[in-house]
Amino acid sequence: MPVTRLLRQVAGQMLGSPACGCWTATPPLQFLGTSPQQIPADASFHSTSFSGTDQPRVLITGGLGQLGVGLANLLRKRFGKDNVILSDIRKPPDHIFHSGPFIYSDILDYKNLREIVVNNRITWLFHYSALLSAVGEANVSLARAVNITGLHNVLDVAAEHNLRLFVPSTIGAFGPTSPRNPTPDLCVQRPRTIYGVSKVHAELMGEYYHHRYGLDFRCLRYPGIISADSQPGGGTTDYAVQIFHDALKNGKFECNLKPSTSLPMMYIDDCLRATLEVMEAPAESLSMRTYNINAMSFTPEDLAQEVLKHVPKFQITYNVDSVRQAIADSWPMNFDDSNARKDWGWKHDFDLPELVTTMLNFHGSDTRVAQAN
């Protein structure tokens, strides 16, 4: 067990000798706020500048998913291309491979993960490897391995090497007994999907490692994330991505949720900016380790009406998927993110009209190029 080895190592150092011949002595884990990488108290996304010596060295796991590539682009603009390493177990497309450092990383292989952190002098780790809600229900054993066992490996490596660790959580971390409108940061959760259970586990384990080992753990509960340049990835909120593809391609869309199903949503630019801002926030400003963030809540019917303003002949029909609908009915209808707004200044830029305009403009230009070709 990596944590056991870590404790043995620290104990060995206190006695004046390494725990075993294969380990080199390292300083004991430092508690939050004592790291030389500490961000200044006046740090913010818009004003903080990093010198060449104190810029973070970043690893993103599960980097070929919906959020990883966009996050890598944002962080590379912020900290320099060579300081941000994207990783996954899949082969990347050429444009991603050539856009900056990319390596193979299997979070279920603890030794491989540890070597990457050591060899690349990683200081920040963004852990995006996970199976989403609907996909996880179709393969519970794989979801358990990736979402829970993989998390344990990441936590142990992060604690051992004093990393700042970000793990995303989700609206799926709540359940049918949670208050739904609005849902506060702290309340009964009790999710009924393996995805949700694994995310509650991640929140609690991260908080435990923070208090027990001084791990600088930070977590945001994302709403449904809508992005223009990615394909739906098996999540319950993915209808809000697919609708734009179908509206421009076919002029119609079949939705697998009921028209009145309200869920919290966010455009990806807001999501990625929030992720960077919470990682840059000074430690003393954080009153908790896991925060809700939100931008808007809408139903499929609301979204369709907004799309109709731009695509006058658009039609939506409903063929409800019972599994996804049951999942959606157990999730929050609206997030209370007042703590994030108070503690580290979170605010969103995109509401529903801006979201729809942005998505249709993006896919409309893609459609016109394809037709021209």
Q: Residue 106 pLDDT more than 80?
A: yes
> Which CATH class for the 130-372 domain?
alpha beta
* CA–CA dist 235, 221 (Å, integer): 15
* pLDDT tens string 317-373: 999 999 899 989 999 999 999 999 999 999 999 999 999 999 999 987 554 434 444
Q: What is the mean pLDDT of residues 160-176?
A: 96
Q: Residue 51 pLDDT more than 70?
A: no
In this predicted model, which residue has the larger pLDDT, 131 or 58?
58
Q: Residue 46 pLDDT more than 90?
A: no
Quote the pLDDT of residue 258: 97
Quote the pLDDT of residue 132: 84
Q: Which residues contact 129 (CB under 8 A, 6 or more apart)?
A: 61, 62, 65, 88, 107, 146, 150
Q: Residue 26 pLDDT more than 80?
A: no
Active site residue 195: yes
Question: Nearest-CA neighbor of 305 among 227, 253, 363, 365?
Answer: 253
Q: Residue 226 pLDDT more than 50?
A: yes
The ranges assigned to domains in the chain are 130-372
The catalytically annotated residue of 104, 110, 128, 195 is 195
> How confident is residue 228, by pLDDT bands cut at 50, 70 and 90?
confident
Instruction: Say what angle helices 352-372 and 239-249 make with each other, to 10 degrees.
Output: 40
> How confident is residue 290, by pLDDT bands cut at 50, 70 and 90?
very high
Q: Up-side HSE of residue 19: CA atoms within 13 Å toward CB? A: 15
What's the whole-number average pLDDT of the chain?
A: 85
Q: Residue 161 pLDDT more than 70?
A: yes
Q: Residue 40 pLDDT more than 50?
A: no
Residue 69, number of CB atoms within 10 A of its CB: 23
